[in-house]
Structure 1
Amino acid sequence: MSTGDADLIVVGGGPVGLATAIEARAAGLDVLVVEPREGPIDKACGEGLMPGALAALQRLGVEPAGHALGGIAYLDARRAVEHRFGAHPGRGVRRTVLHVALAERAADAGVRFERGRVVAVEAGPGNASVRLAGRNGAESPALDAPWVVAADGLHSPVRRMLGLERAPQRASHRRYGIRRHYRVEPWSDLVEVHWAGAVEAYVTPVDAHTVGVAILGPRLSDPDAALADIPRLAERLGAAEPASSSRGAGPLLQRTAARTSGRVLLAGDASGYVDALTGEGLRVGFAQARSAVAAIVAADPARYEREWRSETRDFRMLTSALVVAARSPLRDRIVPAAVRAPRLFGSIVERLAR
């Protein structure tokens, strides 16, 4: 047991932070999760769990309610191509539902929680510590542990404090997301990706009466204006009432110089993010959670760096190539190319989905 406040402090109580905490408890570690927000925590995202992400959750003992996902479809104004998952389906799950399921499992596993905002972090060679904001802006006493995992999101304060951020993407290339739910019976068990103009719209069934629509592209403020450029989807939604307020995120590309600093490890979006185009953020994040805990148990942070690169290679390479194409004159050819080569499209989907 640690002589500090825990064997492991996890900064960030989102899905990857909670998965890390559950993994660590299964390895026998005393875990403290630090999170400033009251749950359940929401986020602008596509909400489609690929088969690999769903399997990772089930291994952790988490079975969130949602809507079965049979595969992925790409559509433009005139064409469509689809691929159905091979052995196992995925699941559309509202982010708040997923958060509640993970938080309950973490609590059952004995994870402890501290409400607070991290304002300082130290990554020493033999231990690590974080300080939380106290009353009247003062810092609270340090929380110490042999290890810290920062899973504090796309714009990770811990990543910035440790100097692990790389230069931001130039403004003209930045992409953002905005998500809203609609009260309408899902018309398909596929995640539909509608390509139009400068945006893509991800449509995910999340229960028997609700679909989520996440729109990606240049900075957006009005999902209705974006949907006007996607007549096929606008017609499907018809006069459906919004089932949630609009929620935004971005810029999406976040690059890191490294994933470790001393005994602090970065996981999930905090460790770097390419784009949401392939919908694989959670699958990769859950794999990182498992690898981070394995590296901590082995007292070998360099192992985590190696495994992070290996686990994210396909995601980074394929998504980066797709993002480049989406910003280029080739954009209008993406769906036609997938239609002409359905086997290649399917093999890429299967590789990412696992």
Structure 2
Amino acid sequence: MPGDVDADVLVVGGGPVGLAAAIEARLAGLSVLVLEPRPGPVDKACGEGLMPGALDALARLGVDPEGHVLAGIAYVGGSRRVEHRFAGGVGRGVRRTVLHAALAQRALELGVERVPGRATSVRQDAHGVVVGGLRGRHVLACDGLHSTVRRLVGLDQPARRAHGGDRRRFGMRRHFRVAPWGDLVEVHWASHAEAYVTPVSDGLVGVAVLGGARTGLDDTIAELPELAERLAGAQPDGSVRGAGPLRQQSRARTAGRVLLVGDASGYVDALTGEGLRVGFAQAAAAVAHLDDPSGYERAWTRATRDYRVLTSGLVAAATSPARGAILPAAAALPRVFGAIVERLAR
């Protein structure tokens, strides 16, 4: 290894976005180490729907995970249903562990090495950064919603609670052994939460629920007669997994030679299902701007703008008295609904 570093790029966090960042760096001809304590494919609470743009990003990295075709998005509630099918290609429902394994295999093929360990301190100088006993010329912090690196470098910014109560949102997910009944991601609107149904294989669907701290997955399903009927008698596959609070903020995306990528850089909500697509775009931008922090800040802003604006607006409506008007508005304005879906799917 040239110089006094173990690798050109040290990636902290070996989840999907971290592995995508490692692959991007290797494709750019850089040496890479991934600092990650967990040895195998890691499961987590997420909707598992890859939008067409996310699939395109994976294909560019040489990754093609198995899953179930996703042709669009449907909002469902009571007697109302509004759906939009993607105009520019299809997405794919992919179980989180399957996606993780596919990215890990591609990273291995390219010579990426995983080093077991955690980020307990960050020390940097003009030529490199030391994390977990490893020294890299640059560090990409891809360590998730509650990023340790973000806190250690002073970029953590606790989200403010909305006036009038705790509106923090949390997510839960469980798989059910049942044949998918369609090729759309269905978003079922309950009074207090949303349930996202994503087919991930011919005999398995994932159900993710987003809502407040007291939201329960089973209680939400029980409030949705159509979904409850679909799942009646279906055997759960695995336990309920949770995540949150979902909204996370950072003061900036860079601190010297440390760049925040993916959820570590800030997160709004999972309501629009754009976390991975946006995370992959950030990974590409970070590798392209390793020596240009201000350039990465600008690229990060461009890559996340639509997600932040549209998701923030929808979450504000979903956590306000206007919540009940979201589905009727989507049904009354299908072209607007379709335009929003297309903007987020690309």
* Alignment TM class, shorter chain as reference: over 0.9
Deviation by residue 1:265-320 (Cα, 9 ceiling, x = unmatched)? 00010000000010000000000000000002xx1121111100111000000000
2:217 matched to 1:223?
A: yes
Secondary structure, counterpart of 1:244 in structure 2: strand
Amino acid at match of 1:266: L
2:245 is paired with a residue of what secondary structure?
A: coil
Q: Secondary structure at the match of 1:159?
A: helix
- RMSD across aligned C-alpha pairs, in angstroms? 1.1
Given that residues 73 and 82 in structure 1 are in contact (C-alpha distance below 8 angstroms), is that contact kept between their aligned partners in structure 2? yes
Instruction: Please report how far the alpha carbon of residue 123 of structure 1 lies from its aligned counterpart in structure 2 after TM superposition.
Output: 3.6
- Paired residue secondary structure (2:289): helix
Identity of aligned residues (%): 63
The residue aligned with 2:252 is 258
Deviant stretches of 4+, over 4 Å? none
Q: In 2, distance between residues paired with 1:277 and 1:123?
A: 37
2: CA distance, partners of 1:220 / 1:209: 30
Distance 1:2 1:178 in 2: 45
Q: Which moved more, 1:230-239 or 1:161-170?
A: 161-170
SS at match of 2:159: coil
Structure 1 equivalent of residue 90 of structure 2: 89
Q: In structure 2, what is the Cα distance between the partners aligned to 1:2 and 1:74?
A: 55
Superposed CA offset, 1:198-254 (max 9, x none): 100000000000000000001247421221111111111111010121000000000
Choose which of 308, 314, 318 in structure 2 pairs with 1:316. Answer: 308
The one-character-per-residue Cα deviations of 1:327-349 (angstroms, maximum 9, x if unpaired) are 11110010100000101100100
Equivalents in 2 of 1:123, 1:149: separation in Å?
13
**2:87, 2:250 → 1: CA distance?**
34
Give the whole-Å Cα distance in 1 for the aligned partners of 2:217 and 2:307. 27
- Report the equivalent of 1:109: 110
Residue 136 of structure 2 corresponds to 145
TM-score normalised by length of structure 1: 0.95
Q: Structure 1 318/2 Cα, relative in aligned 2: closer, same or farther at 3 Å?
A: farther
Distance 1:64 1:185, change over 3 A: same
* Residue of structure 2 equivalent to 1:194: 188
On the 8 A contact 1:252/1:274 being kept in 2, the answer is yes
Q: Is the 8 A contact 2:57 2:277 kept in 1?
A: yes
Unaligned runs of 5+ in 1: 132-141
Shift of 1:38: 2.1
> Is 2:16 the partner of 1:18?
no
Aligned-partner SS, 1:219: coil
d(CA) in 1 for partners of 2:322 and 2:125? 47
Structure 2 counterpart of 1:157, from 135, 148, 163:
148
Q: Distance in 2 between matches of 1:228 and 1:57?
A: 36
> Structure 1 residue 257: deviation in Å?
0.4
Deviation at 1:125, TM superposition (A): 3.4
Q: Deviations over 1:107-133 (max 9, x none)?
A: 0001011011110012433321113xx
Tell me which residue corresponds to 1:184. Answer: 178
Residue aligned with 1:126, SS: coil
Alpha carbons 2:5, 2:128 under 8 Å: kept: no
Q: Residue 136 of structure 1 aligns with which residue?
A: none
CA contact (8 A) 1:176 1:250 kept: yes
Q: Which residue of 1 aligns with 2:324?
A: 332
The total of aligned residue pairs comes to 342
Contact between 1:178 and 1:220, CA under 8 Å: does it hold in 2? no
> SS of the counterpart of 1:211?
strand
Provide the secondary structure at the position in 1 that maps to 2:150: helix
Contact 1:2 1:145 in 2 (8 A): no
Equivalent residue number for residue 41 of structure 2: 40
